[in-house]
Amino acid sequence: MVGFSSKAQQDPLYTQYMNQLLSINPAYAGSKGVTSATLMVREMYTTWPENPSTQTIFVHAPLNSQMGVGGSIVNDKIYIYSNTGVFGDYSYSINYPGDKFLSLGLKAGFSYIQLPLTDIDLKNTDPNDPAFQQDVYYKFLPNAGVGVYFSSPDYYFGFSIPKLISNTVRSQNVETGTISKEELHAFFMGGYVFDFSRIIKFKPYFMVRFTPNAPISADLTAQAVFYERLWVGATYRFGNSFGFMGQVQATKQLKIGYAYDLTTTEIGVYSKGTHEILVNFDFSFGRGRVRSPRYF
């Protein structure tokens, strides 16, 4: 008998996470002061058949000067496995002088799991393996999370646990029992903007993820902002990947971004990289003024 260990991610990761912190921190809801909608599409290892793919829609808005709400729909697919999550967010803010505020957030929603195990071709193994004789369809997984977010015009910090419930997915009538379990993920994030001149600004970010039974994961990102219109940057995920990104503030309300990642692991020999597209639009609806550019 020979045993091996393996580690893999569960929740989707985004290279341009700093443009939509609502994906990991509910306290961010309503922080822009206007209704904001973001579409993100991430395609990993595009030369592979059935490559990992994630599509996400985020929307959030302020209710008043202290409360905000938001919501997201996330569709994450890897080979035959797919996970669709629908979550709502609520935040309450304490305002401080100097356009600073501290927000506390709550997240609640559910995920649906689809895992058609019987679709896997077992011709090179045991076709009678009991672990693959029963499909897992539409497994309802409720969850809830919390977050805190402090922001000022020049910097921000945040901490969040988007999912507090460790749901277990089981396949009926299979002696092997647990197929997978949702692990708790904790995020610590921050960023700062250095105002060098009217032409250029420099924005470093960081995000650290903590997950039980997995190594700590950390991202470092830096962006240069030219004429408050063009954003160019690079990112490094320790022990995993590096990438480049570019964003254009097309109008005061519309922002378009693209990121390209390359993995530094052995899988990189077989991968042609990961593509990520972001489209963000801010609606004023006559209730607030769209501030452009927004650094956080």
- Per-residue pLDDT tens for 198-243? 899 999 999 999 988 778 889 999 999 999 899 999 999 988 889 9
Residue of 159, 139, 155 whose CA lies nearest to 28: 159
Q: Is residue 292 part of a domain?
A: no
Q: Is residue 288 part of a domain?
A: no
For residue 286, the model assigns a pLDDT of 56
Q: How many domains, the chain?
A: 1
Q: Is residue 1 part of a domain?
A: no
For residue 27, the model assigns a pLDDT of 96
For residue 50, the model assigns a pLDDT of 81
- What is the overall mean pLDDT for the chain? 86
For residue 293, the model assigns a pLDDT of 59
Of the two residues 9 and 59, the one the predictor is more confident about is: 59
Q: 128-143, pLDDT tens digit by residue?
A: 777 777 777 667 889 9
Provide the CA 65 distance to its chain's centre, in angstroms.
Answer: 26
Q: Is residue 117 part of a domain?
A: yes
Give the type of residue at 68.
Answer: G
Report the pLDDT averaged over residues 183-190: 92
Asked if residue 250 has pLDDT above 60, the reply is yes
Residue of 80, 74, 78 whose CA lies nearest to 163: 74
For residue 233, the model assigns a pLDDT of 94
Q: Is residue 116 part of a domain?
A: yes
Q: Is residue 296 part of a domain?
A: no
The mean-pLDDT minimum among 41-50, 185-194, 276-285 falls in 41-50
Instruction: Give residue 77's domain range.
Output: 17-283
For residue 187, the model assigns a pLDDT of 95
CA distance 62 to 44: 33
For residue 54, the model assigns a pLDDT of 93
Report the pLDDT averaged over residues 40-49: 86
Q: Is residue 190 part of a domain?
A: yes
Per-residue burial over 131-155, b = 16 or more CB atoms within 10 Å of its CB, e = otherwise: ebebebeebebebbbbbbbbbeeee
CA distance 261 to 45: 10
Note whether 179 and 80 are within 8 A (CB): no
Q: What percent of the chain has pLDDT over 70?
A: 88
CA distance 29 to 5: 38
Asked if residue 249 has pLDDT above 90, the reply is yes
Q: What CATH number does the domain containing 187 carry?
A: 2.40.160.40
Q: 101-113, pLDDT tens digit by residue?
A: 999 999 999 998 8
Q: 69-111, pLDDT tens digit by residue?
A: 999 999 999 888 888 999 999 999 999 998 899 999 999 999 9
Q: Is residue 95 part of a domain?
A: yes
Query: 106 has which bridge partners?
Result: 90, 146
